[in-house]
Structure 1
Amino acid sequence: MRADRLLSLLLCLQSRGQMTARQLADELEVSVRTVYRDLEALGAAGVPVVASGGPGGGCRLMEGWRSPLLGISAEEATALLAVSAGGPLERIALGDALAQARLKVLAALPASGRDRTHAAAARFHIDTQAWFKPPELVPHLAELVDAVRQDRRLRITHRRRDGPATTKTVDPLGLVAKAGVWYLVARADGETRAHRASRITEAKLLVTGFTRPADFDLAAFWAEWTREFEASLDQLPVTVRLSTTGLAALPEVLDDTTSAAHATPDPEPGWHRLTLHFDSPHAACRRLLGFGPDVEVLEPPDVRAKLAQTARRTAARYP
């Protein structure tokens, strides 16, 4: 532990400049006496630590000295700091490691460019959370992380969206965070699948390990899996008429920014025809209701009838 603390102490001084012993003690969660002992140890190891007392005094490294931890440019440091700020990794065990890595990146820069790089990185922020949705609760995320990192098998109970829960033993190959949602990529019975982590109601880390496939590429698997998943959805074509107002509301109601470009003029002025795609008649009805009177379903007949019936039942609520 002391070696880790000495490195943290060195990084604090190298990245932040002069600090008082009390500030260092608070940062490292140790006593002031321990800080002074560690500073002496750094000095004995050849690190030029300078300490000055009185008002405005503190501990710092000799001007111009820095440890060659990384050979990294200011542009590379800016990119790393920007993409590593916050995000899904802060919610798992790698969050502390991420903070330490940011500190090391800053420490590797010369003092003249450190503040400028930090300020530049602060001008970029990546928010991975979807709009209007709080982060999903994943009660067993810690167990999933441990299993993935240690190549140990998991016994999980997974609640399916449209069916009963199933329990099985899996080889956890990786974790993916997409738009604030965690997925466990795991192999079982010779098949590799992605499981929504929030639906894993039980997870037990087994003592047995597994051999990770040498040719498995998590990013490549995820790209192919998402392509197939998206292709399996929205298989029901629905032909509609939309008013000009409804056409403009496509991005807001359906989060659709491309279909409007394929709309054709309707015989009635101020209206447009186009074909939209949904998972099922129920999904189509539920989502098209968001357009109110600015939509009319033309095909298929069952969706048209279902939407009309739902609209009548809705109107009956407001006599």
Structure 2
Amino acid sequence: MRASRLVTLLLLLQNRGRMTAQQLAEELEVSVRTVYRDVEALGAAGIPLYGAAGHAGGYRLVDGYRTRLTGLTANEAQAAFLAALPGAAADLGLGEALATAQLKLRAALPAQLREQAGRIRERFLLDAPGWYSDADRTPHLAQVAAAVWEGRATVLRYRRWRAPEEIERRVEPYGLVLKAGRWYLVAGGPSGIRTYRVDQILGLRPLEEFAVPDGFDLATYWNGYVADFRARLQTGEALVRLTPEGARRLGVTPASEGWTEARVPIELIDHAHGEFLRLGTDIEVVAPAELRDRIAATVRTLAARYGD
């Protein structure tokens, strides 16, 4: 633990230049007295740092003492910091490790690249969950991630939407995916590769180690899974008429003037019914008849309810 703290102290001084004992103590979450001891230990190890008293005092490294990471372009350095997902790392129990890794990387960069990397952190933020939903509770995420990382087969207790709702299944975890604020486990099993929502995992028990099949690529699998999912959802089509505002909201190219007639893909009738009602008077459903009748019935019910 102390060795890790000494490295972090050194990297802080490399990144920020002069820092007081109080500032270092706050960053390291230790006492000022501990900082004094750590500084003495670094000095005894041959690290060229010195301290100065007074209002402008503090600790700093001798000018020129810096490990440089060669070979990185400005774009590569920026991408390294832009790609890091603090929220996801924290979910996986790696928040502290990510912060330390970024600190090490930043300390090793030349001054110009270090400044650009810092600007990335200041000006870009990823907030994955949607506006109208909170991130799912995933109490078993860290255990699932450990099984993925260690390559260990696992018995899952899982809740699904169809009967039987609770099942137990042996799987081989291949990878984790974060999609729109929701975590998914991609795993092999008796029926092939399947995708599981991590928030629906009720418990798990680690088993023996396994090897991921040769040639399996998580990104390739996930892209195919998403494409198949969308294809299965949008199996129908509706003929609609849209006002200019309705066309804009539905992402349809509007006609030069007046109403626009368009064919749009739909999922189930129930889902399309709810989605089209959101457009209010900016849409008229022409076909299919079942969907038009459902919306007409809803409108009549609303008219009767608000008629008074």
* TM-score between both structures, scaled by the size of structure 1: 0.87
Shift of residue 48 of structure 1? 0.7
Structure 1: distance between partners of 2:279 and 2:162: 27
User: Which residue of 2 is the match for residue 279 of structure 1?
Assistant: 267
Specify whether residues 245 and 109 from structure 1 end up closer, same or farther in structure 2 by C-alpha distance, changes over 3 A only.
closer
Amino acid at match of 1:206: P
User: Which residue of 1 is the match for residue 188 of structure 2?
Assistant: 187
Specify whether residues 120 and 48 from structure 1 end up closer, same or farther in structure 2 by C-alpha distance, changes over 3 A only.
same
- Give the number of aligned pairs: 306
User: Which residue of 2 is the match for residue 127 of structure 1?
Assistant: 127
Moved more, 144-153 or 25-34: 25-34
Specify whether residues 160 and 114 from structure 1 end up closer, same or farther in structure 2 by C-alpha distance, changes over 3 A only.
same
Q: Which residue of 291, 297, 303 corresponds with 1:309?
A: 297
Specify whether residues 2 and 73 from structure 1 end up closer, same or farther in structure 2 by C-alpha distance, changes over 3 A only.
farther
Measured on the aligned residues, the alpha-carbon RMSD in Å equals 2.3
Shift of residue 140 of structure 1? 1.7
Instruction: Map Cα deviations across residues 59-84 of structure 1 (whole Å, 9 max, x no partner).
Output: 11101211246654444322222332
Query: Residue 122 of structure 1: SS of its match in structure 2?
Result: helix
Structure 2: distance between partners of 1:159 and 1:234: 25
Aligned counterparts, 1:50-199, within 5 A: 50-68=50-68, 72-84=72-84, 86-111=86-111, 114-115=114-115, 117-163=117-163, 164-199=165-200
Displaced runs of 4+ in structure 1, greater than 6 A? none
User: Which residue of 2 is the match for residue 241 of structure 1?
Assistant: 241
**Is the CA contact 1:6–1:38 (under 8 Å) kept in the aligned structure 2?**
yes
User: Which residue of 2 is the match for residue 298 of structure 1?
Assistant: 286
Structure 1: distance between partners of 2:297 and 2:139: 41
Instruction: Map Cα deviations across residues 230-275 of structure 1 (whole Å, 9 max, x no partner).
Output: 111111111112223322332xxxxxx3xx13x678xxx7222111
Shift of residue 116 of structure 1? 5.2
Structure 2: distance between partners of 1:46 and 1:90: 35
Instruction: Map Cα deviations across residues 144-194 of structure 1 (whole Å, 9 max, x no partner).
Output: 122112222222232223552322121111110011111111111151111
Amino acid at match of 1:244: P
User: Which residue of 1 is the match for residue 226 of structure 2?
Assistant: 226
Structure 2: distance between partners of 1:194 and 1:247: 35
Moved more, 273-282 or 18-27: 18-27
Structure 2: distance between partners of 1:247 and 1:211: 50
Shift of residue 294 of structure 1? 2.6
Aligned counterparts, 1:21-32, within 5 A: 21-32=21-32
Specify whether residues 286 and 117 from structure 1 end up closer, same or farther in structure 2 by C-alpha distance, changes over 3 A only.
closer
**Is the CA contact 2:77–2:113 (under 8 Å) kept in the aligned structure 1?**
no
Amino acid at match of 2:203: A
Identity %: 42
Amino acid at match of 1:310: T
Query: Residue 128 of structure 1: SS of its match in structure 2?
Result: coil
Query: Residue 169 of structure 1: SS of its match in structure 2?
Result: strand
User: Which residue of 2 is the match for residue 42 of structure 1?
Assistant: 42
Query: Residue 27 of structure 1: SS of its match in structure 2?
Result: helix
**Is the CA contact 1:74–1:109 (under 8 Å) kept in the aligned structure 2?**
no
Amino acid at match of 1:286: G
Amino acid at match of 1:90: A
Amino acid at match of 1:299: A
Query: Residue 317 of structure 1: SS of its match in structure 2?
Result: helix
Instruction: Map Cα deviations across residues 262-293 of structure 1 (whole Å, 9 max, x no partner).
Output: x678xxx7222111122111111111111222
Which residues of structure 2 form unaligned runs of 5+?
none
Moved more, 202-211 or 286-295: 202-211
Query: Residue 56 of structure 1: SS of its match in structure 2?
Result: coil
Amino acid at match of 1:153: A
Specify whether residues 128 and 242 from structure 1 end up closer, same or farther in structure 2 by C-alpha distance, changes over 3 A only.
same
Query: Residue 193 of structure 2: SS of its match in structure 1?
Result: strand
Query: Residue 285 of structure 2: SS of its match in structure 1?
Result: strand
Amino acid at match of 2:173: P
Structure 2: distance between partners of 1:223 and 1:248: 28
